[in-house]
């Protein structure tokens, strides 16, 4: 099975069903099962996103992961360095463009358009980087949370040999 390492809290947003698009600076022709690996590196700037919407509600309201509690945000996270979900990668398309405006001197995005014509709106827009035409949207479906499985992650799309029960993991 292919796997993709994603930093927290973004990996957890996928696992709890709040995030359906992973953005990358590179695309892939691969389609099929994809294990979601919560990266071992914890970046405070990313964890602090959980203090505000649209991150707070899906992370705070979900009690499925009770492994590691961030004292600053009060959010429970899965242990870093673990496979935490399995999904289907159904498409990978270029980000065609995004609508920007200035709000209080800060550039904010209203929506992004993908090369297939689909538009991305909030909250999904806040969960990824749709800033330019050199970005790719990895479209996920059928996301299933799994009990954390400790695995050494890798950069890029990598191969993982899942336990048998993961191969036939039913949808929740």
User: Distance of alpha carbon 77 from its chain centroid, rounded?
Assistant: 14
| Angle of CA points 165, 167, 169, to nearest 5° | 65
CB 36 within 8 A of CB 86: yes
More confident call, 42 vs 99:
42
Report residue 117 as tokens.
């014509």
Mind listing the domains of the chain with CATH numbers? Answer: 2-94+134-167 (2.30.130.30)
pLDDT of residue 88: 98
More confident call, 170 vs 141:
141
pLDDT of residue 172: 40
pLDDT band at 101 (very low <50, low <70, confident <90, very high): low
Parallel, antiparallel, or unpaired: how do β-strands 136-150 and 157-159 relate?
unpaired
Whole-angstrom Cα distance, residue 56 to residue 87? Answer: 23
Q: What is the mean pLDDT of the chain?
A: 86
């Amino acid at each position: 099975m292919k796997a993709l390492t994603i930093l927290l809290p973004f990996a957890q947003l996928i696992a709890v069903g709040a995030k359906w698009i992973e953005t990358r600076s590179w695309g892939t022709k691969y389609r099929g099962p994809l294990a979601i690996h919560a990266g071992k590196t914890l970046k405070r700037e990313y964890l602090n996103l959980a203090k505000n919407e649209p991150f707070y509600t899906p992370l705070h309201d979900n009690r499925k992961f009770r492994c590691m509690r961030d004292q600053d945000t009060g959010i429970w996270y899965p242990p870093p360095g673990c496979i935490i979900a399995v999904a289907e990668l159904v498409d990978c398309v270029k980000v065609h463009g995004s609508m920007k405006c200035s709000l209080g001197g800060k550039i904010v995005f209203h929506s992004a358009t993908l090369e297939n014509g689909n538009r991305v709106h909030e909250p999904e827009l806040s969960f990824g980087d749709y800033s330019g035409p050199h970005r790719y949207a990895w479209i996920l479906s059928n996301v299933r949370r799994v009990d954390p499985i400790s695995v050494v992650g890798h950069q890029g799309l990598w191969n993982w040999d899942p336990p048998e029960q993961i191969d036939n993991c039913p949808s929740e």
